[in-house]
């Protein structure tokens, strides 16, 4: 859900979720402390901030005047987990929620109206939280995608089962023109929108027993130019580094929300 649909300067048109249905279209973080959260992500990812139309508890992160993410200080008030949540574009929020419930998912919030659209917060059959958004998006959606996540990854118990669940809700690999494409590559289910990888689903080695210590969840990967610098900044500003390789690091913010920074691919 986009917390503030005011257009960036120079933008005159918007596009609808009907044209990018099934693809990730936004990411949002439930936080306990806006000031601490803002300071941390400014230091680690270089984000700037502006107020959002939904009220004092909401902020919009921007990069070069392009909105990249929303922060909502509602974790305590709504008894929500402190976590990053991806939102997927849908043609009909009501239909998507009904499909999810029919297939064993749950609806935690909504659908609710947030003009100019509608949103809902759901969980899949294994409890991984995700959102849906029906309505308008910024016209230059590719700019949003370049400025925000490189992709999102679902860590779950059964990648194929999860792909079927989400595919039936979001019209992946359907006969609808413009739908997202789904392939199996390198042990993962890979989702592409307009030729770009936007999501991955993984469940470990084929035939391996589920790890009871890991709860299924969506992990947001932010593209950055310097992974090591982001990791150092996270530690300096109250976060932690959970794991790190040469081109990727899993970080935790001061509130406990996990995210991944990934080296920005050359274009």
DSSP secondary structure string for all residues of 85-96: EEEEE-S-HHHH
203 and 159 in contact (C-beta within 8 Å)?
yes
Strands 117-123 and 106-114: antiparallel
Backbone φ and ψ of 44, nearest 5°? -85, -40
Bridge partners, 51 (sequence order): 59
The secondary structure of residue 137, as a DSSP letter, is E
Please give the chain's pLDDT, 267 residues, in tens: 555 544 444 444 555 566 678 999 889 998 888 889 999 999 999 999 988 766 667 888 888 878 888 888 765 555 567 889 999 999 999 999 999 999 999 998 878 887 778 889 999 999 999 999 998 775 555 666 665 666 899 999 899 999 999 999 999 988 888 899 999 998 899 999 888 888 999 986 555 555 566 689 999 999 899 999 999 999 999 999 999 998 999 999 999 999 999 997 655
122 and 62 in contact (C-beta within 8 Å)?
no
Bridge partners, 114 (sequence order): 117
pLDDT computed for residue 181 by the predictor = 94
State how far the Cα of 176 lies from the Cα of 193, in Å rounded to an integer: 13
pTM score: 0.86
Q: Is 181 left (phi over 0), alpha (psi -120 to 50) or beta?
A: beta
Query: What angle separates helix 159-170 from helix 93-102, to the nearest 10 degrees?
Result: 140
State how far the Cα of 37 lies from the Cα of 255, in Å rounded to an integer: 8
Backbone φ and ψ of 58, nearest 5°? -120, 145
Which three-class secondary structure state does DSSP give residue 5? coil
For 98, the token pair is 């009904």
Backbone φ and ψ of 94, nearest 5°? -60, -45
| Burial class (CB within 10 angstroms; exposed 0-12, middle 13-18, buried 19+) of 86 | buried
Nearest to 37 by CA among 2, 84, 80: 84
pLDDT computed for residue 18 by the predictor = 63
pLDDT computed for residue 214 by the predictor = 65
pLDDT computed for residue 153 by the predictor = 95
pLDDT computed for residue 5 by the predictor = 44
Q: Please state whether the peptide bond connecting residue 116 to the residue before it is cis, i.e. omega within 30 degrees of 0.
A: yes
pLDDT computed for residue 196 by the predictor = 84
pLDDT computed for residue 98 by the predictor = 96
Give 169-203 as a DSSP string: HHTTTSSSTTPPEEEEETTEEEEEETTEEEEEEE-
Sorted by sequence, the CB contacts under 8 Å of residue 81 that are 6+ apart come out as: 30, 75, 129
């Amino acid at each position: 859900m986009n917390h503030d649909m005011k257009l960036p300067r120079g933008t005159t048109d918007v596009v609808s979720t009907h044209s990018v249905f099934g693809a990730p279209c936004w990411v949002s973080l439930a936080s306990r402390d806006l000031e601490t959260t803002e300071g941390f992500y400014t230091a680690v990812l270089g984000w700037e901030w502006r107020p959002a139309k939904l009220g004092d508890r909401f902020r919009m992160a921007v990069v070069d005047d392009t909105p990249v993410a929303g922060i909502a200080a509602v974790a305590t008030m709504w008894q929500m987990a402190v976590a990053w949540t991806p939102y997927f574009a849908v043609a009909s929020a009501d239909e998507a929620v009904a499909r999810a419930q029919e297939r064993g998912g749950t609806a935690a919030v909504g659908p609710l109206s947030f003009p100019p659209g509608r949103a809902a917060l759901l969980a899949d059959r294994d409890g991984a939280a995700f959102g849906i958004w029906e309505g308008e998006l910024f016209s230059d959606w590719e700019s949003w995608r370049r400025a925000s996540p490189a992709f999102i990854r679902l860590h779950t118990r059964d990648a194929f089962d999860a792909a079927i669940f989400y595919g039936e809700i979001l019209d992946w690999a359907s006969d609808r023109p413009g739908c997202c494409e789904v392939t199996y590559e390198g042990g993962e289910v890979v989702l592409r929108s307009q030729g770009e990888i936007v999501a991955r689903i993984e469940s470990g080695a084929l035939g391996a027993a589920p790890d009871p210590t890991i709860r299924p969840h969506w992990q947001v990967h932010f593209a950055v130019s310097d992974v090591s610098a982001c990791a150092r900044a996270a530690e300096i500003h109250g976060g932690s580094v959970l794991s790190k390789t040469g081109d990727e690091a899993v970080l935790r913010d001061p509130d406990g929300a996990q995210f991944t920074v990934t080296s920005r691919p050359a274009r």
